[in-house]
């Protein structure tokens, strides 16, 4: 959208439209009359909304610095209810005879607090857990109390994993081993015999259906996990032979995460339901059809089948699944199974917001080009100057090409000593003046040249921000995932600057120059000018899924501070839990430094400096205390 068209008084409605908050906010996020972003887990109850700026004040009073990850436990609660209620409504409406049992896949956000809350809030729906490793099973068993909920074990299983799962069955848990590769069955049968506990067995299949999205390899024929149909039949035969076919109770597939197109979801459900029906005909008791994850989040709010979006609602997702399963079962006269899904992203994405402050801005400065050139100006610089004079809307592509050509020529001349530094500097001013004018003219064209697609980036302001992309939103870097980003205050003011965001790592990959847009992807984000002595806060939204645990220690920026917020129905809020982020000593320990040894070694260096007369003993004390402060400090920019 062109902000020039929106002249006149800037309003919160204009900010809502500009940042798309109503499209991606799922009614959890909105803008207040004061121009601040509000969070409200109780969709219908407007008086429960809390301003993020008030939370920031609370966080600062507790002495916690930015960046901070806010977790809203009520949002997790709301999403669990929403998913379960949507399935239950579909079941009632369609008169489906089975039930819905969701499980939360731990890998999507493995923080203890998240799993604890899922088991707590999920209990009223018997919402269970999905684990993909021994460590996750150990974690799940420490928190799970509900024997009605499912505990699904995917992943490669060794003897310890299997023994623990079998004991879980013995203790009354609905624990299933899903066979992902053919070899796993033998070990399961062997341990089952040794411990005299009958396992609940499931099989994971590869579907021929393929889906679009980032993770298209997870589901289809080429997926590395799952059994093809002849392997499924071999498992059935082995179980029959051992007289254990009564253990085969579940069929599973996972199409991949963030499936944007409902048609892909539907065709996978139909195919798997057919396999399920056949397994019942083979004599397996079955009972559970586990459709994996894939329920997508509309990150850009466009409601399309674009990778960062989805072309369906949660209600449609549930209706389509129940209807598809039912249609297959009814044609074969097979009892309706319990439908299991493993939605992770959809449950936790809304739950966390990353907040940070802007440290500094590098503005694009416009240069005044002199009306006349000096006598001694070299020919190539004159040519560039002429390009600037000749630029009009009609010839922008040509002028762009010429400008690049002369710029390169001038750089070459500089390398060979044929022009001096001042001349080169002058030529760069002319060059950037041309680029700036082209970027502005471009908007007047109906079909701007493809080459000029992201020319705005070149002249955007750079907002340097206090966070690490690699640590806090790794998918932004790794798979170009888009997250909604916007200021959390000043939303009654016109955002006059066009910016890209650079993180604190000073790594050229540590930047964000793609932002959500309803119709496209935008290259710059409209932001406000910084004010003196006032922090400017930005929020990255919908970062609850997959971001927290993928983060690495790029440049040794560690975990951020985390604050858990509980919003009460009356609009008050409690900061229920705060977790201090990593100190410098912490992150150094992760890469096997020993802070004690480091301190000793640095003290020796300081002693040596005293002996050489470079510093006094008193100065040594100050130097050591500043080293200690550094070790104890937060890894991010502290104010
Ligand atoms: C990752 C994963 C999920 C979660 O998928 P979402 O799209 O986040 O819901 C579910 N099941 C399995 C087997 C997975 O590997």
Per-residue pLDDT at 1 exceeds 60: no
The model's pLDDT over 375-432, given as tens digits with 9 standing for 90+, comes to 999 999 999 999 999 999 889 999 999 999 999 999 999 999 999 999 999 999 999 9
SS (H, E, C) 139-153: HHHHHCCCCCCEEEE
What is the structure's pLDDT at 448? 85
What is the structure's pLDDT at 213? 61
Per-residue pLDDT at 214 exceeds 70: no
Q: pLDDT band for position 7 (50/70/90)?
A: low
The model's pLDDT over 163-173, given as tens digits with 9 standing for 90+, comes to 999 999 999 99
CB-neighbour burial class of residue 42 (10 A; exposed 0-12, middle 13-18, buried 19+): middle
What is the structure's pLDDT at 233? 97
Residues 6 or more apart whose Cβ sits within 8 Å of residue 371? none
CA distances from 580 to 469, 505, 569, 639 (A): 19, 20, 28, 16
Q: Which carries the bigger pLDDT value, residue 586 or residue 210?
A: 586
What's the whole-model pTM score?
0.89
What is the structure's pLDDT at 589? 87
Per-residue pLDDT at 270 exceeds 90: yes
What is the structure's pLDDT at 480? 87
In the reported structure, the alpha carbon of residue 430 is separated from the centroid of ligand 1 by a whole-number distance in angstroms of 53
Per-residue pLDDT at 248 exceeds 90: yes
Closest to 317 (Cα-Cα) out of 254, 253, 259: 259
Give the mean model confidence (pLDDT) for residues 33-51: 93
Which atom of ligand 1 is found nearest the CA of 296?
7
Q: Which carries the bigger pLDDT value, residue 432 or residue 550?
A: 432
Average pLDDT, the chain: 92
Rounded distance between C-alpha atoms, residue 571 and residue 567, angstroms: 6
The model's pLDDT over 219-231, given as tens digits with 9 standing for 90+, comes to 555 567 789 999 9
What is the structure's pLDDT at 211? 63
Give the mean model confidence (pLDDT) for residues 192-215: 85
Q: List phi, psi (to 5°) of 514.
A: -130, 130
Do you find a cis peptide bond into 237, omega within 30 degrees of 0? no
In the reported structure, the alpha carbon of residue 546 is separated from the centroid of ligand 1 by a whole-number distance in angstroms of 10
From 102, 105, 152, 216, the mutation candidate for ligand 1 (largest count of ligand atoms within 8 A of CB) is 105
What is the structure's pLDDT at 8? 65
In the reported structure, the alpha carbon of residue 220 is separated from the centroid of ligand 1 by a whole-number distance in angstroms of 15
Per-residue pLDDT at 553 exceeds 80: no
What is the structure's pLDDT at 561? 92
Which atom of ligand 1 is found nearest the CA of 225?
13
Per-residue pLDDT at 505 exceeds 80: yes
Instruction: Report the pocket of ligand 1 as residue ranges, CB < 6 Å.
Output: 105, 107-108, 130, 154, 254, 257-258, 292-295, 342-346
What is the structure's pLDDT at 218? 55
Q: Of the ranges 69-73, 212-216, 259-263, 300-304, which one carries the lowest mean pLDDT score?
A: 212-216
Rounded distance between C-alpha atoms, residue 459 and residue 465, angstroms: 18
Q: Which carries the bigger pLDDT value, residue 335 or residue 477?
A: 335
In angstroms, the first-to-last Cα distance of the chain is 36
What is the structure's pLDDT at 223? 66
Which atom of ligand 1 is found nearest the CA of 108?
8
Give the mean model confidence (pLDDT) for residues 192-216: 84
The model's pLDDT over 301-345, given as tens digits with 9 standing for 90+, comes to 999 999 999 999 999 999 999 999 999 999 999 999 999 999 999
Rounded distance between C-alpha atoms, residue 25 and residue 212, angstroms: 24
Q: Which carries the bigger pLDDT value, residue 451 or residue 11?
A: 11
- Residue minimizing CA distance to atom 3 of ligand 1: 293
């Amino acid at each position: 959208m062109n902000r020039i068209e929106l002249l006149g008084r800037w309003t919160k409605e204009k900010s809502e439209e500009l940042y798309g908050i109503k499209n991606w906010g799922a009614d959890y996020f909105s803008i207040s009359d004061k121009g601040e972003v509000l969070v409200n887990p109780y969709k219908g109850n407007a008086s429960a909304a809390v301003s993020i700026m008030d939370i920031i004040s609370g966080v600062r009073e507790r002495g916690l610095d930015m960046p901070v990850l806010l977790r809203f436990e009520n949002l997790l609660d709301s999403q669990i209810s929403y998913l379960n209620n949507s399935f239950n409504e579909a079941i009632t409406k369609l008169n489906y005879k089975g039930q819905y049992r969701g499980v939360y896949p731990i890998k999507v956000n493995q923080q203890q607090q998240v799993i604890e809350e899922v088991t707590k809030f999920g209990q009223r729906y018997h919402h269970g857990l999905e684990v993909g490793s021994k460590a996750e099973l150990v974690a799940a068993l420490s928190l799970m109390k509900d024997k009605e909920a499912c505990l699904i074990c995917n992943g490669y299983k060794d003897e310890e994993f299997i023994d623990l799962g079998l004991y879980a069955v013995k203790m009354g848990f609905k624990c299933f081993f899903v066979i992902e590769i053919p070899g796993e069955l033998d070990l399961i049968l062997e341990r089952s015999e040794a411990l005299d506990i009958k396992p609940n067995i499931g099989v994971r299949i590869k579907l021929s259906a393929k889906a679009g999205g980032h993770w298209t390899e997870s589901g289809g024929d080429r997926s590395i996990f799952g059994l093809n149909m002849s392997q499924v039949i071999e498992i059935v035969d082995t179980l029959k032979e051992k007289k254990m076919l009564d253990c085969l109770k579940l069929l599973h597939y996972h199409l991949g995460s963030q499936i944007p197109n409902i048609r892909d979801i539907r065709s996978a459900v139909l195919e798997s339901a057919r396999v399920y029906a056949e397994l019942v005909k083979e004599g397996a008791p079955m009972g559970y059809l586990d459709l994996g994850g894939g329920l997508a989040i509309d990150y850009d709010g466009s409601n399309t089948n674009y990778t960062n979006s989805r072309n369906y609602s949660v209600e449609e997702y549930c209706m389509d699944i129940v209807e598809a399963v039912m249609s297959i079962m009814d044609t074969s006269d097979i009892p309706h199974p319990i439908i299991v899904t493993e939605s992770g992203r959809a449950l936790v994405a809304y739950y966390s917001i990353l907040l940070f402050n802007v440290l500094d801005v590098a503005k694009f400065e416009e240069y005044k080009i002199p009306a006349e050139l000096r006598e001694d100006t070299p020919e190539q610089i004159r040519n560039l100057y002429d390009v600037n004079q000749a630029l009009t809307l009609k010839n922008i592509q040509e002028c762009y090409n010429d400008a690049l050509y002369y710029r390169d020529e001038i750089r070459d001349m500089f390398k060979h000593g044929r022009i001096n530094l001042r001349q080169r500097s002058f030529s760069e001013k002319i060059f950037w003046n041309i680029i700036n004018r082209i970027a502005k003219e471009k908007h007047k064209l109906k079909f701007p040249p493809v080459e000029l697609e992201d020319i705005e980036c070149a002249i955007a302001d750079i907002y340097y921000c206090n966070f690490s992309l690699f640590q806090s939103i790794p998918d932004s870097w790794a798979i170009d995932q888009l997250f909604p980003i916007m200021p959390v205050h000043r939303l009654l003011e016109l955002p006059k600057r066009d910016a890209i965001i650079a993180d604190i790592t000073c790594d050229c990959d540590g930047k964000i120059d793609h932002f959500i847009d309803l119709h496209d992807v935008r290259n710059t984000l409209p932001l406000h000018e910084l004010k003196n002595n006032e922090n400017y806060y930005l929020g990255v939204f919908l970062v609850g899924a997959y971001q927290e645990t993928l983060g690495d220690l790029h440049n040794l920026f560690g975990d951020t501070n985390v604050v858990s917020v509980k919003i009460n129905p009356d609009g008050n809020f409690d900061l229920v839990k705060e977790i201090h982020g990593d100190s410098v000593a912490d992150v150094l320990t992760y890469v096997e430094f020993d802070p004690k040894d480091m301190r000793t070694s640095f003290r020796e260096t300081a002693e040596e400096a005293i002996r050489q007369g470079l510093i006094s003993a008193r100065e040594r004390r100050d130097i050591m205390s500043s080293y200690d402060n550094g070790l104890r400090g937060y890894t991010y920019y502290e104010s």
